[in-house]
Structure 1
Amino acid sequence: MNAFDFGIADLAPADQPSEDAMEAFRTGDLAVLSQHHAAPDGSHSFILAHDRSATWGAPGEPQLVAIAVARDLSRSTFTFETSHHATASFAQNWLAERGCPLDRIALRGGDYIEPADDLTVQVERQIQSSGTRYEVLDTFTSDYDPSEAWTLVRDSHAVQTPVRLFHEEWDHDAGTYTMREGAFADVDAAQTWLDERSGPLPEPPEYSDHNGAVVRARIARIALARSTGASTTPQTGLGAPRTTAAGRVQRPARGRLR
């Protein structure tokens, strides 16, 4: 779907938030990356898109938008929700929470950058299926030197180091990206790492405790599935094609978390 047609021309917004969301919506700035329309009655539409205007807007703003449309044909109404995200895996999680099957909003091959390794696939799979586990605290996106995006969250499942940083970095020359999870005691510790980058991203403690075996087993299964050509978790990087606006935006100095 290159043009946005939500099939709501003859329908009225069901509530004020849906009406406000539609009025604020600017389809001309968006490029559809993936979409799913529920069959057979088409009652729901789920869309993942790249907001091209974000590269010229406020520095660091998220460049992906997730859209969920639900139609009540018996009442001739619709609801309309949107949510902005730094990485596709969090956008896909948001859509999945609203009823979209994850395999229907995959970003597969073609012009999309590929995960560089199996750990990237594992971390994304974890995010996509996390439900409401993560409370998003802040995000940042830069498509210039280095090309990266991160999402800072509070992990409701973590006993130790509950503040988690999901850091995605792209290698446009190789056409690949990595996603890593870092663990911190609090937001200040995470901010210090982001400001200084004085060492590697600290791994979550569960990578090295008894759950580490589970993590490694999952990665091994992903590696086997990819090597044999079996179905794996969708490739999900920033979502923009290799022709994304890398280098078009001056990378801003990092400020404190909002």
Structure 2
Amino acid sequence: MNNALDWAFYFDLDGLAPADDVSEELVEMFRPSDLTVLAHHRTEPNGSHSFVVAHDVSATWGVPGAPQVVAMAVARDLSRSTFTMDSSYHAAAPFAQNWLIERGCPPERIALASGNFVAPADDLTVQVEQKIRMSGARYEVLDTCTSDFDPSETWTLAFDSGATQVPVRIFREEWDYNAGTYTVREGAFADVSAARSWLDDRPGPLPAPPEDRLDNGSALRTRVALARSASPSATPKAAVTGTPPAKPVQRPIQGRLL
């Protein structure tokens, strides 16, 4: 499978003109050689819409901490020989998938292919990712950071409009490249200041959301055990603030080919 972005294969824009300035600018901005496709879907039978999740390798060398996963949506109007394109950058693939699902992509069609990518380390990771994918407009993303240095991680700071308590959430990904796996954990905080304090100091596992703490005892014990097993290591503040280490080592992020 060739995972490089091929405009003709994924978007089929031959003979079509951009319908607006934004679409034209996006086509000019993206360099296909910089984009590795992680998942894609094209609607049938007319093939009028395309959805793509890709990793932008050029982001590694851009602004420190910038998100590296891009979601792209194209709508083709064959009657007018035009197309519209929209895109959005995210720190983690589930947020990119959520963005595409909200724009009409069937959830099962935009899943990352199993076997070719870094795999979830446990069931809790799968559950948290599914929660993000199917959250609709529940989460307002306030900030993100991506570090592809050791330790490799991303975090997404978000406001949870569906939470009745501690509505500020951190979703943190961390990868174990030796094992070929990654973990995702959710933490709940009363406000942004408390969340940022955790990111700065990393005093222990992310505090579990109240809705998880109210689960039955067995589920709670399982979640706590999983969270402790993936307790964050002492992360240099450079990785959190986006300042790269003196000698960066380029690493693949979640969803990248093994």
TM-score (norm 2): 0.82
2:203 aligned residue: 198
Q: Are the equivalent residues in 2 in contact too, given 1:33–1:49 (CA < 8 A)? A: yes
Tell me the residue number matched to 1:177.
182
Higher relative contact order (CA 8 A, sep 6+): 1
Instruction: Output the CA distance in 1 between the equivalents of 2:41 and 2:167.
Output: 34
Q: CA–CA distance in 2 between the matches of 1:214 and 1:102?
A: 31
Give the aligned partner of residue 127 of structure 2. 122
Q: Which runs of 5+ in 2 are unaligned?
A: 224-252
Closer, same or farther in 2 for the Cα pair 1:76/1:195, shift >3 Å? same
The code of the aligned residue for 2:257 comes to: P
RMSD, aligned α-carbons? 2.0
**Aligned residue in 2 for 1:73:** 78
**Is 2:50 aligned against 1:45?**
yes
1:215/1:13 CA distance change after superposition, 3 Å:
farther
From 133, 136, 150, the counterpart of 1:145: 150
Say if 1:51 and 1:64, in contact at 8 Å, map to a contact too.
yes
State the 1:32 CA deviation: 1.1
Return the alpha-carbon distance in structure 1 between the equivalents of residues 16 and 7 of structure 2.
16
1:141 and 1:23 mapped to 2: Cα distance?
25
**What is the identity, as a one-letter code, of the residue corresponding to 1:240?**
R
Structure 2 residue 161 is matched with structure 1 residue 156? yes
- Map Cα deviations across residues 75-106 of structure 1 (whole Å, 9 max, x no partner): 11111011111111000000101111111111
The alpha-carbon deviation at position 213 of structure 1 amounts to 4.1
Matched, 1:82 2:98: no
| 1:86–1:238 CA contact under 8 A, matched in 2 | no
Q: May I ask how many residue pairs the two structures share in their alignment? A: 223
Q: State the one-letter code of the partner of 1:50.
A: H
Q: From the superposition, tell whether residues 78 and 213 of structure 1 become closer, same or farther in structure 2 (CA, over 3 Å).
A: farther
Does structure 1 residue 168 correspond to structure 2 residue 173?
yes
Q: In 2, distance between residues paired with 1:35 and 1:88?
A: 12
Tell me if structure 2 keeps the 8 A contact 1:207–1:215. Answer: no
CA distance in 2, matches of 1:55, 1:156: 31
Partner of 1:4: 7
Structural mapping, 1:239-254, within 5 Å = 239-242=255-258
Q: 1:125 aligns to what SS in structure 2?
A: helix
Distance in 2 of aligned mates of 1:114 and 1:122 = 13
Q: In 1, distance between residues paired with 2:202 and 2:120?
A: 22
SS in 2 for 1:140: strand
- Are 1:60 and 2:65 an aligned pair? yes
Quick one: structure 1 residues 153 and 215, their matched pair in 2 at CA, closer, same or farther if it must change by over 3 Å?
Answer: farther
1:150 CA drift (Å): 0.8
State the alpha-carbon separation in 2 of the partners of residues 107 and 53 from structure 1: 21
Tell me how far apart the structure 1 counterparts of residues 217 and 93 of structure 2 sit (CA, whole Å). 24
Task: For 1:91-110, list aligned pairs within 5 A.
Answer: 91-110=96-115
Q: Deviations over 1:50-72 (max 9, x none)?
A: 11111222211111111100011
Return the TM-score normalized by structure 1.
0.82
Match of 1:238 in 2: 254
